[in-house]
Amino acid sequence: MLTALVASSQTIAPAQSNEYCPGTNLTFTFSVGGNNQDIFVSPVSYVSIIQGAYNVSYNSNTNITTCNFVIRVADMPNDQVLRIQYRNNNNDPYQTANFTFDHVKSIGIDRYVTTYSPLSITANRCETQIFNVTFNKIKFKNYTSNTEFGQIPDYQVSVPTNWKVNGSTSTGTGDWKIVNASPVTVESDPSNGDIQNVQIRPYNSCAANLTVGPAIAIPISRPAPTLTISGSQDCICSGCTNFTINGMPSGATVQWTLSNTTDASISGCSTCSTVTVCRNTSANTTITLMATVTHCTFSYTPTHDISLGTPSPTPINVDLIDPSIGRIQVDVDPALPGILSYNWYKNGILQTAHGSFAQIPITRNVCDISYSISVKAINCCGTSSLVYKDVYVPPCGNFYRVSPNPASNNVIVSPDNSKTQSATNKTFNEVRIYDFQGTLKKLQKFRKANTATINLSGLINGTYVIEIINDNYKEQHQLLIQK
């Protein structure tokens, strides 16, 4: 509360305990006992003097001197102090009265809406929807005394372009709509606002350009429809097969196209929800069916791969060669559409694996040997031709040296020149360090390096595994760190 620090015979009106707006001229009357003609008004903190003492008048009947003065309080949520000095006609020493304004309606940095609903908004695309947004009104705060008072009456709301606040259309960022009551009606437009926000902040309507409070954000999502293409089967042996677009929103249109119009074609309607795709040639290949879906301003293009006849798998990838555990890991990626299974062969012998990924067993610890790995795909039309890959198992033993070991600050990885190596086995692409729980602690990549210094900063004392990788070849060493 604003308190006069002088005798009760010295007063101002209106009372200093009232709530006052910053940025506006405030006229007060000062009253003091006795005949006092020399009166001076001055600021102590934050207050600005617009007009000093005027209309000074002495009433002999009441023995009271009065005058008027005009001030402005600052846009600061703190105590603001005014000083009035006066003396009587006998030229006695000046007397002083301080008046403190502690109910200044200024909005501080922690004045934000704390309770609001909804917490998020999901608006359908290509529709207008109405959402009732509610929030609590909050109080002003004096930061000198850390006390709250009154209530902030007005707030601003920001919404995406062409959305509406209480019927008023937004022009987008920076267009804050003033509201003074909750709930607020927010209306979406058909297309804007995805991954944007409805924002609400306290607003000071006392005067122009006053500080506003921080904004809270209600996130908006406008999820795209889940569109899929389905058919009775994903391979066409001969003739035609129907495919359907699923999940089309109401009012949307579709246009069907093919990536290859030589070996396949669309028969009949290309703008219907179901399309007919026909095989034109005897080529064994894959095509992509595309559905361009248009919904107001939005466009989506789901795709669907189709096998024509019995296309061969993609080239074989070799993921791992490890004679110590007797295994070669291979895959074909991406898998062909409509494939029922794969047949994998090692040196012409059918293996047990039948997926797009296979672990081919080899004789343990038998090195410096090649294997012929092949695969063919089986779909509703039959079996494809074989695809081959020759896989070489290099000589056994470690090709690389890790030194020093134990190590403290750095460790050097280099070829072991005492071992017989091909030119490619004298370089490496990657070095990884794992702790003994198998957690990756460091990773460095190289371009055909034949030596590298690995910084061990950040690794504590203990036992680790350092793994050196050269394309498909992997080699592991135990590494002891002692600092």
CA distance 132 to 403: 69
Work out the pLDDT band at 350, boundaries 50, 70, 90.
very high
Q: Which residue in 341, 348, 347 sits closest to 383, CA to CA?
A: 341
Q: Buried b / exposed e across 350-384, counting CB within 10 Å, b at 16+?
A: ebebeebebbbebeeeeeeeebebbbbbbbebeeb
**Mean pLDDT value across residues 274-286:** 96
Q: Which pLDDT belongs to residue 335?
A: 78
Considering the chain, what is the average pLDDT of its residues? Answer: 92
Supply 456's token pair.
Answer: 């061990």
**Mean pLDDT value across residues 234-243:** 96
pLDDT surpasses 70 at 89? yes
pLDDT surpasses 60 at 264? yes
Work out the pLDDT band at 458, boundaries 50, 70, 90.
very high
Supply 280's token pair.
Answer: 């034109």
DSSP 423: G
Distance of CA 220 to the CA centre of its chain: 13
pLDDT tens digits along 410-420: 999 998 876 64
pLDDT tens digits along 91-138: 889 999 999 999 999 999 999 999 999 999 999 999 999 999 999 999
Q: Which residue in 249, 240, 256 sits closest to 303, CA to CA?
A: 256
For 228-303, CATH gives 2.60.40
Q: Which pLDDT belongs to residue 2?
A: 35
Which stretch of DSSP H or E encloses residue 403? strand 400-403
Q: Which residue in 448, 437, 438, 433 sits closest to 481, CA to CA?
A: 433
Contacts of 354 (CB under 8 A, 6+ apart): 341, 342, 343, 344
Strands 121-122 and 216-221: parallel
pLDDT tens digits along 153-212: 999 999 999 999 999 999 988 899 999 988 999 999 999 999 999 999 999 999 999 999
Work out the pLDDT band at 293, boundaries 50, 70, 90.
very high
Residue 273's Cβ-count burial label (10 Å; 0-12, 13-18, 19+) is: middle
CATH topology of domain 11-101: Immunoglobulin-like (2.60.40)
**Rg of the chain taking only CA atoms, in angstroms:** 41
CA distance 349 to 339: 21
35 near 61, Cβ under 8 Å?
no
Select the CATH number that applies to the domain covering 400-481 from these four: 2.40.128, 2.60.40, 1.10.3470, 3.40.1350: 2.60.40
Q: Tell whether omega for the bond before 223 is within 30 degrees of 0, i.e. cis.
A: no
Angle at CA of residue 177, ends 171 and 182, nearest 5°: 135
311 near 377, Cβ under 8 Å?
yes
190 near 199, Cβ under 8 Å?
no
Q: Tell whether omega for the bond before 404 is within 30 degrees of 0, i.e. cis.
A: yes
379 near 235, Cβ under 8 Å?
yes
CA distance 74 to 95: 26
Supply 2's token pair.
Answer: 């604003």
Distance of CA 263 to the CA centre of its chain: 44
Whole-number percent of the chain with pLDDT over 70 = 96
Q: Which pLDDT belongs to residue 403?
A: 92
278 bridge partner residues = 240, 265
Q: Tell whether omega for the bond before 313 is within 30 degrees of 0, i.e. cis.
A: no
Q: Which pLDDT belongs to residue 322?
A: 79
Work out the pLDDT band at 7, boundaries 50, 70, 90.
very low
**Mean pLDDT value across residues 46-70:** 96
pLDDT surpasses 50 at 5? no
Q: Which pLDDT belongs to residue 370?
A: 87
pLDDT tens digits along 381-390: 999 999 999 9
CB hemisphere CA count around 39 (13 angstroms): 25
Its pTM stands at 0.71
Supply 278's token pair.
Answer: 């026909």
The CATH architecture one would assign to domain 317-393 is Sandwich (2.60)
CA distance 257 to 477: 54
279 near 381, Cβ under 8 Å?
no
Q: Which pLDDT belongs to residue 419?
A: 62
Which stretch of DSSP H or E encloses residue 84? strand 80-88
Q: Which residue in 296, 253, 305, 19 sits closest to 141, CA to CA?
A: 19
Q: Which pLDDT belongs to residue 425?
A: 61
DSSP 223: P
- First and final C-alpha spacing in the chain: 65
pLDDT surpasses 60 at 423? no
Q: Which pLDDT belongs to residue 416?
A: 80
Which stretch of DSSP H or E encloses residue 9? none
CA distance 467 to 106: 63
DSSP character string of 190-206: SS--TT-EEEEEEE--S
CA distance 461 to 237: 63
Supply 421's token pair.
Answer: 């190596």
The domain ranges of the chain are: 11-101, 116-221, 228-303, 317-393, 400-481
- 456, 460, 462, 466: CA torsion to nearest 10: -30
275 near 269, Cβ under 8 Å?
yes
pLDDT surpasses 80 at 345? yes
Does this chain's domain 11-101 share its CATH topology with 116-221?
A: yes
CATH topology of domain 116-221: Immunoglobulin-like (2.60.40)
Strands 26-33 and 11-13: antiparallel
